[in-house]
Amino acid sequence: MTRAPTGSMNPSEERVGEVQQELAVELISLLCGLEQAGRLYEINNSMVRKLLDDMLATATKFVQAAGEAMVLTLVGYSVFINRRLVRLDFADYRRAQQLKQFWDQFGISEMRLPEQPTLEGLTEFATLLFSAMTDPHRRPALFTRQPGGVSLVAVVGEDRPGERQAPHEFTIRAYCALLALTRKMVERVRAGKRPPMLRIKRTLQVVVDLLEVQENLVLALCNVPAFRSELAGHLLSTAILSLAVGRRLELSRPELMTLGTAALLHDLPKAGLKDDALNRLEQPAAVPPEDRKRVEGLWLKVLRRVVDMGGFNEDMLARLVTLYEAQLEFARTDLFPNQQQLSLFSRVIAVCDLYDTIGWTRPGKRQRTAHYAMMTLLQTATGGQSPNLDPTVAAAVLRTVGLFPVGSPVLLNTGEIGVVTGQESADPDRPEIQLVFDAQGRPIEGATVELATDHARGVLWPLTLGPLGVNPVACFIPKAGADELY
């Protein structure tokens, strides 16, 4: 009989956790429906009664499954059920944010249902809520009373109501938040401390959802020069590209979360290396034996720190395997002569890491265009130069960012300069672009051009962002807000 890994939950605990997640999503949907009903109907309306009946059933099931009353908390961009983070797909996440916007009007951060809920009690709560929606003077009673045993907790600290954010603003904030957390992770690992993995995974969940609707903007953020000169930027760019590729490989959401977390860890041992050492590591054959031993020692040290982060569940095992196999890029390719022997996550991360490493700008290293990085990746993966690069994954990277990658500038045959904003065409040579300079070299807020249909224009040459002074992210923002980004 196989013993369950230390620190992992047994099947019954896992099932209870799944039920809690499902019921949390149900409650969010019902509370959103209750908000809408409160604007349209009286308390005795059949629609309101149906919502309250369903809410009673949800709360009762939760108590039966978890053995405790249901507590829903909305803080920032995170949702918790009884202090456990709730995993949401994009539709459920948007619904949760809709509910938070409603709660923000009253200053609510948490709702605690009674352990023995009743229809009469929930009706009493809904009656007070409806009256507070129409009469602001009744709002304090939401916190001073406990109608039907329902307790509401007010917002405290920095989690104050704010203005609704546009999609691009929310995406940029989520990216920057994850970058800041990745920087903290690098700093804490160098100091021998535990990184903030829980906060990282919460923010990573948001980014996974955003890739469904804002993928090109997220990929363009990875091309901002200011983010590309440090290890944290490289780790984050590799993780985001791995997630985008994972979506094209039809990985499940739990698999994507494990892949993204592993990618954020894959090059952590490089936090202890200087720029000249990092530059040498990009040429594996030139790394002296003593440097290889030093790097292997760093890898083992970080592996031990990762072990200290928590128990050995499948997610942790995937991180350990990826971290170990990541060193194969320069030190131990003899252990795995065939790339198919690597884990799937390692194969994805290895390809995405090579692509991003080529464009990683550091002192003493020549700056390369994103197009050069893509061409080098394809030649390396398909030319047999590296047996540890999966050609199938490389093809998925090409489909994801394009031959002229999203967020990179290009010179057109007309003399105009544009930024690639999408790869919607089947022809990788003819991406979607937004014009940023006219043929005379004057900055413009040009139109978006589909080269697949505009046969008068074509890409003449790839360019680098630095000399142009172009912010690629501005091309994904409504013009009214483009000047306010940086």
DSSP designation for 20: H
Beta bridge partners of 81: 72, 84
Position 39 pLDDT exceeds 90? no
Residues above pLDDT 70, as percent of the chain: 79
The percent helix, strand, coil of the chain (3-state, each to 5) is 60, 10, 35
Model confidence over 331-341: pLDDT tens digits? Answer: 444 444 444 45
The pTM assigned to this predicted structure is 0.64
Q: What one-letter code names the amino acid at 357?
A: T
**Per-residue model confidence (pLDDT) at position 129:** 92
Model confidence over 112-124: pLDDT tens digits? Answer: 999 899 999 999 9
Q: Which two tokens stand for residue 407?
A: 């967020």
**Per-residue model confidence (pLDDT) at position 26:** 92
Q: What are phi and psi of 111, to 5 degrees?
A: -125, 125
| Stronger pLDDT, 240 or 141, i.e. the higher one | 240
Model confidence over 338-369: pLDDT tens digits? Answer: 444 567 888 888 889 889 988 887 777 777 88
Architecture of domain 167-401: Orthogonal Bundle (1.10)
Most confident of 117-131, 225-239, 370-384: 117-131
CB 88 within 8 A of CB 60: no
Position 214 pLDDT exceeds 90? no
Count of other CB atoms within 10 angstroms of residue 402: 26
To 5 degrees, how large is the angle CA 18–CA 173–CA 153? 55
Alpha helices (H) in 211-252, listed in sequence order: 215-221, 231-248
State the span(s) of the chain assigned CATH 1.10.3210.10.
167-401
Picking from 68, 93, 97, 94, the residue whose alpha carbon sits closest to that of residue 83 is 68
Q: Which two tokens stand for residue 248?
A: 């094209």
pLDDT class of 187 with cuts at 50, 70, 90: confident
Residue 38 contacts by C-beta under 8 Å, 6 or more apart in sequence? 48, 126, 129, 130, 133
